[in-house]
Amino acid sequence: MNAETGIQGSYWLETAPPGVPAPPPSGDLSVDVAVVGGGIAGLSAAWELVQQGREVAVLEADRVAAGVTGHTTAKLTALHTLVYDHLRRTRGPEGARLYAASQTAAIRRAFEIVDELGIDCEWEEAAACTYAEDPGRVGALRAEAEAAREAGLPAEFVTETDLPFAVAGAVRVSGQAQFHPRKYLLALTDDLRRRGGTVYEGTRVVGLTEGEPCTLRTDSGVSIRSDEVVVATHYPVFDRALLFTRLSSRRELVVASPIDEDRAPRDMYITPEQGTRSVRTAPYHDGERLLIVTGEHFAPGTAHVEDRFARLFAWADDRFDGLTFTHRWATQDNDSTDSVPLVGPLHPGSRHTYVATGFGGWGLSGGIMAGRLLSDLINGRLPAWHRLYDPRRLASVVREGTSFLKHQAQVARHFVGDRLPAVTAPAPDNIPPGHGAVLRLGGRHYAVHRAESGSLQAVSARCTHLGCIVAFNHAEQAWECPCHGSRFAPDGRILQGPAVRPLEKRDIPE
């Protein structure tokens, strides 16, 4: 519950059981496969590998299914806004076809698992729609419908939807799904354990030595020897191929309100307009559904988040009328420069290390797809789409040079610009309760936060990943790094990587 607004946080975290605790390892370990990261990609890979007889350990820094996966909008669809027209131009019709086939196979796989394990995760079939209100976008929507159809999806261009406002047009793909992501993943985790897999929570991996076997090191000094390693930490904590130059982090806000069942849209919607708006509903109390609206994306540490929440509340209330918001939360995505996830060997010389990242806002179908793809690769199989997702691909990065250079320029600005001496900031006395500010004192950057009680605490403002300067997100009470999206609590604890070390505690100089 947010103390200032009286509104709950993530609906998925609130309404799923807490999960069976999984303590950290008490000593060194040896396994066939170590999976670093207990979100949907890591748990899906682990579950597939255990099915295939591998001895698997999942190493999660926090709790499983509580990070990005616990904050998503939980749409399972192969229609990813306007990706197919883009893919047929950049990767050719075959690339678009493989993308559609792999994402569709992931949705089918999720359904098989739900069915086989009897998981109660509020699975609902629904159509996915990309819409626009601006008639100027109809051409792009028609092109997307045609490209998605060519790629093998049952896509059609329509002008009528069950949204309560007029649209200029929409691409509609039937047979997609929505579910409760945390209920799904907790059941998958339980089954993983039943089949002999091991899960360790509160276990942050801070070192990787590649070899035969590979060795991982945790922050508590435990060593894990493993034949194969999967890095599925959302943003990779190990980067041996400069993946961070091809990924950009994006934070997005989510608000939710009950809505009468007869007013709730049945389909799932997204529009690239107004800085992206996404709409779905979920089962709620009798006679009601929960309307979940997402939007207002921004680079971590670069926005006034309360203003953006206010804009999203206003947009949802304007479109759906008479809402009473009960939940609000934020999610974080990593976009790859060519709009295709990076799933496969960790670097060009990799023999036993793999990565899954860059799912954009489509981490559920992408994560399930990645789980199957990585388990296939580890077992020596090459699915038809392995080259499409291979992180070692170079040609497409060259084609996506503009996006690549833009991201690098932004990072350079935060990295170099933050070192300029002309940083102005209030003195510690001017920081109000519940706020934080970066101060330059005696030539060093301090990230200073004043608690509601009035006490001040300071940590280094230099992100422990690659040294950019963090900024304070008041709405979520977190220090955020604009370069690659690491997030820290006011006391410097890591909330989200790629950083693996907390911000260093500092005394404020007199």
Considering the complex, state which of residue 195 and residue 493 has its C-beta at the smaller distance from ligand FES: 493
Minimum distance of ligand FES from residue 481's CB (angstroms): 3
Q: Using CB atoms within 10 A of its CB, is residue 400 exposed (0-12), middle (13-18) or buried (19+)? A: buried
Distances (CA, A) of 439 to 2, 473, 480, 483: 27, 15, 15, 19
Of 262, 243, 247, which is closest to residue 358 (Cα–Cα)? 247
Minimum distance of ligand FES from residue 244's CB (angstroms): 7
Minimum distance of ligand FES from residue 484's CB (angstroms): 3
Neighbours of 119 (CB within 10 A): 21
Q: Would you give the binding string for ligand FES spanning residues 442-481, x where CB under 6 A is met?
A: ---------------------x-xxxx------------x
- Figure out which of the listed residues 332, 484, 494, 495 binds ligand FES, where binding follows CB under 6 A: 484
Between strands 214-218 and 353-357, the pairing is unpaired
Considering the complex, state which of residue 241 and residue 463 has its C-beta at the smaller distance from ligand FES: 463
Query: What are the counts of helices (DSSP H) followed by strands (DSSP E) for the chain?
Result: 11, 25
DSSP string, 318-375: HHH-S----EEEEEEEEEETTSS-EEEESSTT-SSEEEEE--TT-HHHHHHHHHHHHH
Considering the complex, state which of residue 371 and residue 497 has its C-beta at the smaller distance from ligand FES: 497
Q: Using CB atoms within 10 A of its CB, is residue 27 exposed (0-12), middle (13-18) or buried (19+)? A: exposed
Minimum distance of ligand FES from residue 46's CB (angstroms): 26
Considering the complex, state which of residue 149 and residue 250 has its C-beta at the smaller distance from ligand FES: 250
Gyration radius from the chain CA atoms: 22
Considering the complex, state which of residue 267 and residue 480 has its C-beta at the smaller distance from ligand FES: 480
Minimum distance of ligand FES from residue 234's CB (angstroms): 12
Residue type, 381: R
249 strand-pairing partners: 334
Check if the beta carbon of residue 330 is closer than 8 Å to that of residue 72. Answer: no
Q: Which long-range contacts (CB under 8 A, 24 or more apart) does 17-20 make?
A: 17/186, 19/63, 19/64, 19/65, 19/186, 19/189, 20/189, 20/190, 20/193
Tokens 């929440």 belong to 309
Minimum distance of ligand FES from residue 69's CB (angstroms): 20
Check if the beta carbon of residue 288 is closer than 8 Å to that of residue 261. Answer: yes
Give the binding-site size for ligand FES (rule: CB under 6 A).
12
Check if the beta carbon of residue 198 is closer than 8 Å to that of residue 54. Answer: no
Judged by CB under 6 A, the chain residues 346 through 405 that form the site for ligand FES are none
Minimum distance of ligand FES from residue 487's CB (angstroms): 9
- Figure out which of the listed residues 44, 336, 357, 486 binds ligand FES, where binding follows CB under 6 A: 486
Q: Does 483 bind ligand FES (CB under 6 A)?
A: yes
Minimum distance of ligand FES from residue 447's CB (angstroms): 12
Q: Does 490 bind ligand FES (CB under 6 A)?
A: no
Considering the complex, state which of residue 176 and residue 248 has its C-beta at the smaller distance from ligand FES: 248
3-state SS assignment for residue 210: coil
Considering the complex, state which of residue 95 and residue 502 has its C-beta at the smaller distance from ligand FES: 502
Token digits for 469? 């300067």
- Figure out which of the listed residues 498, 500, 502, 503 binds ligand FES, where binding follows CB under 6 A: 498
Considering the complex, state which of residue 309 and residue 479 has its C-beta at the smaller distance from ligand FES: 479
Minimum distance of ligand FES from residue 414's CB (angstroms): 8
Considering the complex, state which of residue 187 and residue 500 has its C-beta at the smaller distance from ligand FES: 500
Neighbours of 310 (CB within 10 A): 13
Residues, the chain, total? Answer: 510
Considering the complex, state which of residue 144 and residue 476 has its C-beta at the smaller distance from ligand FES: 476
Q: Does 233 bind ligand FES (CB under 6 A)?
A: no
Q: Does 117 bind ligand FES (CB under 6 A)?
A: no
Considering the complex, state which of residue 277 and residue 484 has its C-beta at the smaller distance from ligand FES: 484
Minimum distance of ligand FES from residue 67's CB (angstroms): 15
Minimum distance of ligand FES from residue 479's CB (angstroms): 10
Of 133, 179, 175, 182, which is closest to residue 156 (Cα–Cα)? 175
Minimum distance of ligand FES from residue 20's CB (angstroms): 32
Chain contacts with ligand FES (rule: CB under 6 A): 463, 465-468, 481, 483-486, 498-499
